[in-house]
Structures are given as structure tokens and as C-alpha cells.
Amino acid sequence: MGTPESLTFLGAVGTVTGSKTLVTVGDRRILVDAGMFQGEKQWRRRNWDPFPVPPAELSDVVLTHAHMDHCGFLPALVRGGFSGPVWCTEGTKQLATIVLRDAGFLAEREAQDAAEGGWSRHDPPLPIYTAEDVERSLPLLTEVRYDADADLGDGLGLRFTRAGHILGSASVTLTTPSTSVLFSGDLGRHDHPVLRPRDTPSGAAYVLVESTYGDREHPEPVNLPHEDLADVIRRTVARDGSVLVPAFAIDRTEVVLRVLAQLRQDGRIPTVPIYVNSPMASAALEVYRRAYDELRPDLDLDDFARLDNVHEVRSAEESMALTQGRHRAPHIVVTSSGMASGGRVLHHLERMLPDPRNSVVLTGFQGAGTRGRALLEGATQLKFHGAYVPVRAEIVHDREFSVHADASDLLDWLRDLRPAPRTVFVVHGEPDSAQALAARIHGELGLVAAVPAYGEKVVLTAAPPPADPREANRGGIPERGASRPVATAAAVSAGTSGAATLVFLGVQEPRDGSGRAVAGSFEAQAAAVLDRIGSLAQATGGDLTSLVRLGAYLRDGEGYAVRLAIWHRLIAARLGDAAPALTVSPVSHEELPTGVEVLADAVVRPRAWTAISIG
């Protein structure tokens, strides 16, 4: 028997950064995304750990888009021996070239600055990769058009679907000889301010969905759009201060400039100089200007040209003059990175934060462990280049800028997939956000949803997916907008293995405020599940020689014996004299029959399964 097809989660689990998922199919090892860990030190240190798979053994890399947390680790893989193709869209190839060259330059410069400044623990401090490593990586980037099927050989296929997050971003469908896996990548909102909207890919047996905003909704403007930004600019200029806008160089800077142009046109902000201090953002803006086929049809590219008094800061000398405060009059600086984790924004923050006349406007998600998150949470001092500076500037968060799908957007995307996925893996989110989205996927869509752990491996099987609950509303799963029934069976499905018929029942019990199961709830829901399938005899086609697998989650001392006794009593009540005896024995997940999909409570994973032989 050959090696089973599998997924291994090597990043963007437990965190929003470092996206990497290894797909193993026979001798092929395909890495979907090669992102850098950012934010908290415990994750950033993993960038320096030996890669779990020798990079030379990777056959392919697939990039969903060109943000650092999805493509920034690629040169490190090349440095380690990877030399295969890197599949991506045209937009991703163009932007990744800009992003990676900037990253290589910054890595070398930061190592040099650390050596000269003496704030590194390493002697000498070294970059994670060099500009030379980047240049060796770029020829590997291989374009694939949207909605075109690429044959990767060995029965593997690849398809990119427009994701609407940044230019070139895509959801990726990878087909194998026996199954299919869909990676959402970072999904955009329904209405991106610059790009064409996202498309819906075909469904797949297994789906990985991001959860950056899995536990929240984007706010709708109460009055005028971006009034928080307009108001803080007016206040700051009135007190003779300047405004710093940390913005991701890719996509966010373009969106920020469009908003500033609209605010000026409407007379909502004063006319002050605007400095775009990010060579990477300036280069990316040129890529956007050329990509008219990917932009919104109602977007006027002249919006950017109408912004008078805008200055692109390209040279190091110009940047130094700006950060050292030689421009004393009020102004606006747009610079990267968006989470203040590196780049020229650090020098601006170091100078501007101590002055209460100034303001800092955060324009998107701020990952745990970043300076942006610290400012958002009210930090009174921050460390830059080995020294602390006080935070006296005004800090504002304009939440309208995010181009990540919120929880409802993510559910809508999943709901539209045809066929429905067999299993959804919730990734690319902080733990609370991922768990919240998994609970909603399970509760509202009736799908199996798991939040994987770092390093976890999942075997991909060729079993057919369960019936789509959205089509037939089987198993007590409510349609959108319907009230959720008391008995919330995760699924009721039947399959065959030899002469035995297999029935899988999953029940999720309501919990009180302390997390304890509500008394009597298991029996009530089990009875309701049996009511829904009519009778066990009908569900098994009259064959009483069956196996029933119950995913029972042990909690607060409530064991299997009690639950099994309840199921036995309920089954006996419905079948009368025909009720068979139940023989209970433990069974591992690996021992389940081939070709059978097990469905159970998807919010809390069963710690074990129990095989019940009937008859």
C-alpha cells in the first residue's frame, strides 16, 4: 500500500501569519503558500527553525497571493535547496517580485544595523536570507491564468479562482488522483474598493478557510464613510501636528490614497502634503495602474492623479529627511508596514509617538505581538532599535479599511460552494477567531469544521462526501435564516463496509454558562435525532447487523457507558422485540473502514470513538 494522501499544517494555525500547508501525494510534496511568521516571538522564532521537510524534497510551491505572510519565506526555502516551480497568478508574480526584493534588502540592512547598534543577541547577526537568495527565487515563479486548469503531472491539477483580497490573490483548488482540496487563501470582502469582486470556486472534498475576522463583522459607516480618519486629520492639523498612516504596501496603500483623494474632493480634510514613504508601495501602485482588467469597472485611475501635493519618497536620503523632522509643517505620511512590524514606519513612529500633537491611524488587522496591536491596546511606551520611547501621540483605528472578509462573508463563501465540503479546516486566525468561525460553520451550515494544530497531519480519503444538507436539509440542519432545532445532529449518514451497514450519529449538547452540559439534554437530543431518521431499521435498510459509531466527547466525568445506555434504551423503545443487543468495544479512528466518512460533533473533537456491534 502506498503512502496515503495527506495535509500537514505548518503555519497559519494558532496565528494569522506564516501560511504553509504541505500536501503529500505519493512522492510529490506540494507546499501551498510559503509565508513568514510575524508578530509574537514564539512564532517568529519558527522562521529560523529547520523546516519540517527538507526544502530540496519539495516538488512544488503554490502561492495564493503576494503578502509576506504568504510568500515571504520562499527565498529561505530556495536557500535550503528548493528548486521546483512556484505556481501563482500573473498579479502575484509581479507583486511578489517587489515584495521579496524589498524583504531581502531589509533583512540584510536590519542585520547590519543590529551589528552596528549592538542590540542583537547574535554575534554576528545574520539575515534570514539575502538579496542573492531572492534573485535565485524569482525565476521559479510560474504564471497560471485565473480559471485555467494546470496539469502538474502525476494526476495532480491546479486551478486559481479570483479571491478579491489584493491584486493577483486567488483561492486554489488542488485535485489529486483520489480527492480535491480547496484553499481559500485570504478572501476579500464582497465589495473591494479597488479590485473586481471575488469569484466562487467549485466545491471540494476538503476546504481550508481563513478566519482572520472569523469572530467579528466589519462596521458599517454610521454617517459619512471614513469619518474617523477625516476627523483625526482635521484635529491633528488644527493642533499643528502630523498624521502617520501605517499601511500595507500591497493594496492597502492604494486604497488609502483613493480614500484621501475622495476626502479632499469632498472638502472633508485640509490640503496638506502627503508623503508616500515606501518604495515598495510606489512600485506596487505602478503594477495596479497597469492591471486595468483586474480593477473595478467603475474605478477611475485618475483618482490617484488628482491628489495634488503628493510626494513619493524613494531615496534613503529623502526618507531620512522626512523621518528626522525636517518637514515641520503639518503633513500626512503613508508608509509600511501596516502592523508596524518593520520597514520605514519604525523610524516615523520613533520620532512621532512622543509628540502629543501627532496622530497615528491604524488601517487594518493588527496581529498579536506587533507594535500595531500594542498601540491598539493602549501601550504607553514601545521599543525601537534597542531603546524605549513614550507613546503620547493620539492613536486611532479606522476599521473601514479592511479588505479581509468578515465572518458573514466567510460563511457566505462556504455556503455557495457546490458540492458542499466533507471537512472544513479553519486556519489563518487567532485561536478565538478560528474557534468562533468553526462553531458557526458547524451550527449554521451543518458542516464538519476543525481547527487544526501546528504540525497536525490529516489523511485525505477518497470516500464520497455526505449529502449536502443545504439541498435536502437532512440531519436537522437548518436552512439559512431558519431557527436551529433542539437536536442539532452534525449529520446523519449511511455507508457500507462489507455486509455491515454503518450509521453515524453526531449530537451537540447545549451548555450552560460554565460550559457544563445541560442536564438531560443528551437524551432529549438523541431521541430527536432518532425521530428525524424515523427508526434505526429504516436508516439501515432493515439490516440490523450494523455498527453505530458515536462521537462522544468526555466532559465533567460524563462517560461513554451512560451515553451508550441511553442510545440502547432509545433504540429498544423504537424497535421493540426486534431490538438487538449491543456489544461495546473501543476503536481508533485509524481502524474505521476504508471508504467511510465519519461525521460527528465538529465543534469539539471526539477524544475517542466507540464501536457498537448490534445483534
Tell which wins on pLDDT, 251 or 464: 251
What is the per-residue pLDDT for 411?
95
- The amino acid at residue 149 is D
**C-alpha triplet 238, 244, 249: angle, nearest 5°:** 145
What is the per-residue pLDDT for 179?
95
Local confidence band at 474 (pLDDT 50, 70, 90 cut-offs): very low
Does 9 have pLDDT greater than 80? yes
Q: Is this prediction's pTM over 0.75?
A: no
Distance between CA 297 and CA 331 in Å, rounded? 32
Average pLDDT, the chain: 78
Distance between CA 310 and CA 285 in Å, rounded? 13
What is the per-residue pLDDT for 320?
80
DSSP 590: G
Secondary structure (H, E, C), 448-494: EEECCCCCCEEECCCCCCCCCHHHHCHHHCCCCCCCCCCCEEEEEEE
Using alpha carbons, list the distances in angstroms from residue 461 to 11, 44, 204, 590. 22, 33, 12, 12
Contact 163, 171 (CB under 8 A): yes
Question: Which range among 45-59, 109-123, 148-162, 182-196 shows the weakest confidence by mean pLDDT?
Answer: 109-123
In the chain the domains, ranked by start, together with CATH numbers, are 6-217+403-459 (3.60.15.10), 227-401 (3.40.50.10890), 469-614 (no CATH)
Scanning the structure block, which residue is given the C-alpha cell 526555502? 77
Does 549 have pLDDT greater than 60? no
Order across the sheet with 6-9: list the strands: 141-143, 86-88, 60-62, 28-32, 21-25, 6-9, 457-459
Distance between CA 64 and CA 424 in Å, rounded? 18
Task: Please state at what angle helix 252-265 crosses helix 227-238, rounded to 10 degrees.
Answer: 70
Neighbours of 117 (CB within 10 A): 12
DSSP 517: B
The helix (H) or strand (E) run that includes residue 591 is none
What is the per-residue pLDDT for 551?
34
Local confidence band at 245 (pLDDT 50, 70, 90 cut-offs): very high
Local confidence band at 218 (pLDDT 50, 70, 90 cut-offs): confident
State whether the Cα torsion 182-188-190-192 is positive or negative.
negative
Q: E strands within 196-260?
A: 206-210, 243-246
Does 390 have pLDDT greater than 60? yes
Using alpha carbons, list the distances in angstroms from residue 577 to 24, 505, 581. 50, 23, 11
Record the cell numbers describing residue 238, joined without a space. 488644527
Local confidence band at 525 (pLDDT 50, 70, 90 cut-offs): low
Give the pLDDT confidence of 141-159 residue by residue, as tens digits.
999 999 999 999 999 999 9
Mean pLDDT of 457-464: 80
Distance between CA 181 and CA 359 in Å, rounded? 45
State whether the Cα torsion 227-233-236-237 is positive or negative.
negative
What is the per-residue pLDDT for 255?
84
Percent pLDDT > 90 in the chain is 49
Query: What is the C-alpha end-to-end distance of the chain, expressed in Å?
Result: 33
What is the per-residue pLDDT for 500?
33
Is residue 50 left, alpha or beta, with left meaning phi > 0 and alpha meaning psi from -120 to 50?
beta
What is the per-residue pLDDT for 2?
62
What is the per-residue pLDDT for 535?
43
CB-count exposure of residue 318 (10 Å: 0-12, 13-18, 19+): middle
Distance between CA 256 and CA 248 in Å, rounded? 10
Largest CA distance in the chain: 92
Record the cell numbers describing residue 571, joined without a space. 433504540
**C-alpha triplet 467, 470, 476: angle, nearest 5°:** 80
Local confidence band at 542 (pLDDT 50, 70, 90 cut-offs): very low
What is the per-residue pLDDT for 573?
64
Which of 123-127, 207-211, 383-387 ranks highest by mean pLDDT? 207-211
Question: Which range among 115-129, 443-457, 525-539 shows the weakest confidence by mean pLDDT?
Answer: 525-539
Contact 610, 560 (CB under 8 A): yes
What is the per-residue pLDDT for 3?
75
Which among 141, 129, 15, 17 is positioned nearest to 69, based on CA atoms? 17
Mean pLDDT of 188-212: 92
Local confidence band at 4 (pLDDT 50, 70, 90 cut-offs): confident
Neighbours of 311 (CB within 10 A): 15
Give the pLDDT confidence of 490-523 residue by residue, as tens digits.
223 333 333 333 343 444 444 444 445 555 555 6
Contact 410, 187 (CB under 8 A): yes
**C-alpha triplet 259, 410, 41: angle, nearest 5°:** 80
Does 100 have pLDDT greater than 50? yes
Which among 142, 607, 181 is positioned nearest to 427, based on CA atoms? 181
Give the pLDDT confidence of 275-298 residue by residue, as tens digits.
988 888 888 888 988 888 898 887
Question: Which range among 395-404, 429-438, 457-466, 581-590 shows the weakest confidence by mean pLDDT?
Answer: 581-590
Local confidence band at 359 (pLDDT 50, 70, 90 cut-offs): very high
Counting every residue written for the chain, the total comes to 615
Record the cell numbers describing residue 459, joined without a space. 489523511
CB-count exposure of residue 168 (10 Å: 0-12, 13-18, 19+): buried
229 φ, ψ to 5°? -65, -50
Mean pLDDT of 10-23: 96
Distance between CA 108 and CA 514 in Å, rounded? 51
Does 116 have pLDDT greater than 90? no
Contact 529, 507 (CB under 8 A): yes
Tell which wins on pLDDT, 486 or 267: 267
What is the per-residue pLDDT for 327?
60
Local confidence band at 576 (pLDDT 50, 70, 90 cut-offs): low
Which of 81-85, 443-447, 610-614 ranks highest by mean pLDDT? 81-85
What is the per-residue pLDDT for 115?
74
Mean pLDDT of 398-419: 92
Tell which wins on pLDDT, 346 or 522: 346
Scanning the structure block, which residue is given the C-alpha cell 479553519? 426
Question: Which range among 6-10, 110-114, 375-379, 439-443 shows the weakest confidence by mean pLDDT?
Answer: 110-114
Q: What would you report as the CA-atom Rg of the chain, rounded to the nearest whole angstrom?
A: 27
Which among 23, 31, 12 is positioned nearest to 74, based on CA atoms? 31
Contact 68, 75 (CB under 8 A): no
What is the per-residue pLDDT for 122?
66
Distance between CA 90 and CA 145 in Å, rounded? 7
What is the per-residue pLDDT for 369?
82
**C-alpha triplet 274, 280, 284: angle, nearest 5°:** 90
Contact 51, 34 (CB under 8 A): no
Strand partners, 9: 21
Mean pLDDT of 401-409: 89
Record the cell numbers describing residue 596, joined without a space. 467511510
Strand partners, 171: 161
What is the per-residue pLDDT for 611?
39
Local confidence band at 552 (pLDDT 50, 70, 90 cut-offs): very low
What is the per-residue pLDDT for 505?
44
Record the cell numbers describing residue 61, joined without a space. 510551491
